[in-house]
Amino acid sequence: MALFEREEDFRSDAASRALSVTVVENDFVERVYEKIARVYDLTFGPTLHPGRLIALEGMGIKPGDRILEVGVGTGINAPLYPRHCHVTGIDFSAKMLAKARERVERKGVRNIRLMEMDAGNLSFPDNTFDIVYAPYVISVVSDPVRVVREMSRVCKPGGKFIVLNHFKSANQVAAKMERAISPFTVHIGFKADLDLPGFLAQANLKPVSIRKVSFPPIWSLVTFHKD
For the entire predicted model, the pTM comes to: 0.89
Q: pLDDT (tens digit, 9 = 90+) per residue, 56-96?
A: 999 999 999 999 999 999 999 999 999 999 999 999 999 99
Q: Bridge partners of 76?
A: none
Is residue 89 a contact partner of residue 69, using CB atoms and an 8 Å limit?
yes
**Please, what is the average pLDDT of the chain?**
89
Phi first, then psi: give them for residue 102, nearest 5 degrees: -60, -45
Residue 172 has pLDDT above 70, yes or no: yes
Say what percent of the chain tops pLDDT 90: 68
Residue 20 has pLDDT above 50, yes or no: yes
Q: What is the pLDDT of residue 12?
A: 53
pLDDT grade for 9, boundaries at 50, 70 and 90: very low
Q: Distance (Å, rounded) from C-alpha 26 to C-alpha 31?
A: 9
Q: What is the pLDDT of residue 3?
A: 39
Q: Distance (Å, rounded) from C-alpha 194 to C-alpha 178?
A: 9
Domain coordinates of the chain in residue numbers? 7-225
Helices (H), the chain: 26-36, 40-58, 94-107, 144-154, 172-185, 196-203
Residue 206 has pLDDT above 60, yes or no: yes
CATH architecture of 7-225: 3-Layer(aba) Sandwich (3.40)
What is residue 186's DSSP assignment?
G
Q: What is the pLDDT of residue 207?
A: 97
Q: Bridge partners of 133?
A: 69, 162
